[in-house]
Amino acid sequence: MSTEQTALVRKSRGRPKQFDRGTALSKALNLFWRHGYEATSLADLVEATGAKAPTLYAEFGNKEGLFRAAVEHYLKNFYEKSSCLLSRTDLSVEDTVGRYLRAIVELFTDCDTPSGCFMISASSGMSSSSADIAEMLRARHLSQERTLFEYFEKKKESGDLKTVTDSALLAKYLACTIQGFSVQARDGASSDELNRLIDVVMDLWPELTKATVVSKAAH
Q: Cα–Cα distances in Å, from 73 out to 85, 99, 171, 207?
A: 19, 23, 24, 37
- pLDDT tens figures, 68-105: 999 999 999 888 888 899 999 899 999 999 999 999 99
Q: Whats the size of the chain, residue-wise?
A: 219
Q: For residue 112, what is the DSSP state?
A: T
- pLDDT tens figures, 85-94: 999 989 999 9
The domain spans of the chain are: 74-209
Q: Cα–Cα distances in Å, from 159 out to 98, 156, 163?
A: 19, 5, 7
CATH number assigned to the domain covering 74-209: 1.10.357.10
- With cut-offs at 50, 70 and 90, classify the pLDDT of residue 15: very low
Query: What is the pLDDT at residue 24?
Result: 93
- pLDDT tens figures, 124-164: 767 777 889 989 888 887 899 999 999 999 999 999 998 88
**Closest to 121 in 3D by CA, of 172, 78, 157:** 78
